[in-house]
Amino acid sequence: MESGIRQVDFSRKLFGDNFAWGVSTAAFQIEGACDADGKGLSIWDVFTGKKGKIANGETAEIACDFYNNYKRDIDLIRELNIPNFRFSISWTRIIPNGTGAVNQAGIDYYNNVIAYSLENGIEPWITLYHWDLPHELELKGGWTNRNIIGWFSDFVAVCAKAFGDRVKHWMVMNEPGVFTGAGYFLGNHAPGRIGLKNFLPAIHHVTLSIAEGAKKLRGILPDAIIGTTFSCSYIEPYSTKQRDVAAANRADALLNRLFIEPLLGCGYPVKDVPALKGIEKYFLTGDPHNLTFDFDFIGIQNYTREIVKYSFFTPYINARLVKAEDRAVPLTEMKWEVYSPAIYNVIKKFSAYAGVKNIIVTENGAAFPDVVVNGEVDDPLRVGYLQNHIEQVLKAKNDGCKVNGYFVWTLTDNFEWAEGYRPRFGLVHVDFETQRRIIKSSGRWFASFLKR
């Protein structure tokens, strides 16, 4: 089992002076202050209020209270020797209704976060969209409405003009495969829509919005370093049988290739997933060109691998995941397999694309059942997870892959979407009743690694 603290036989220096080390967060998961200072409703504000959608009926109304205590948590980032801080912008803090009037209080807040980070020698990396679509835009169709390309582009422009004088690194969107799949096909994430009739237009409009948002950034900030991030699972077939191998290929196309390939000019992987053919009816003249952008970097976010086998009864792709808990493998609190070679393999896969110039691992981490004992949190499983995955990143780099950064998910325990507060991914433990912070052993280990 990949666990336990060990004396690592590699150091930060082996990655080179220009390798970016950081920690990642998301606005909705940490900020709280759900209606403070003019903020509008997001789809997640609404979704968490619906019965049965979130574990234990929990909400993110307070979460980690980062909005009111951002200085405390940025101080922790400094204490942990972490030089780069990735955070997202809440669209509804900036433009409460999604379009129209700009909320100056929201601009001021993020200006303060950026300024305090820079004061402490911490470089801000901004994610423009991390799932919290304005509810008012969802009422107009959300990502199924083609007008959202313009709405999103306008939001990007406001952020670029407000923060671009100090922020160099930008990510347009976070994990489009997750928020379209879970939110517009399966319905277990906000906004809770179901079926291909929602999923297909959402895919196309999101991809167009990523490209258009990046072009808007480039036009306003010609020297900005622009990327976007993708969730990536290493896919392996259950057996060497041809039908399992083909099923794994279809799953890979859907989970790993669906957005990156059209953005690189390769088109959607329709040949591998014929159910995607219906996306063509949402195309307008010029869309193949409008889908593409030459990104400075691609963010990949990997946590595990998936084993896939053929399934006659699974519609559209005739493939299903073999649950990790049924495979007698080490698990995280999310019931994801602990398998560090997965990150090596996804880096290698994405590095092979000719259009990918640079890769940053923008999320990697694990949730384990942490316990506070005598005011401390000892989490050797997380330490082992980080050690093994960072070692695999180094292996990928040494093998010639274009990887030049690694960000841990996440700084503090937070609101983990539909799972509520039970899964704890943080380097820092949070008591959500008192908002007390405790740096875990994993946080201390990462701080020591970065200092070395």
CA distances from 341 to 83, 125, 144 (A): 26, 27, 36
Is 136 a residue of the active site?
A: no
DSSP letters spanning 129-152: ESS--BHHHHTTTGGGSTTHHHHH
Residue 400 to residue 385: CA distance in whole angstroms:
23
Q: Of the listed 31, 123, 136, 175, which one is catalytic? A: 175
Cis omega (within 30 of 0) on the bond before 191? yes
Instruction: Tell me the β-bridge partners of 431.
Output: 436
Instruction: Tell me the β-bridge partners of 322.
Output: 307
Q: Of the listed 136, 261, 363, 416, which one is catalytic? A: 363
Q: Do 232 and 254 contact (CB within 8 A), yes or no?
A: no
Q: Do 317 and 247 contact (CB within 8 A), yes or no?
A: yes
Burial 327-366 (b: 16+ CB within 10 A, else e): eebebbbbebbbbbebbbbbbbbbbebeebebbbbbbbbb
Residue 176 to residue 72: CA distance in whole angstroms:
31
Instruction: Tell me the β-bridge partners of 408.
Output: 23
Q: Which residues, other chains included, contact 252 with Cβ-Cβ below 8 Å and sequence gap of 6+? A: 235, 272
Instruction: Tell me the β-bridge partners of 409.
Output: 24
Q: Is 230 helix (H, G, I), strand (E, B) or coil?
A: strand
Instruction: Tell me the β-bridge partners of 226.
Output: 170
Is 325 a residue of the active site?
A: no
Residues recognised as catalytic? 175, 363
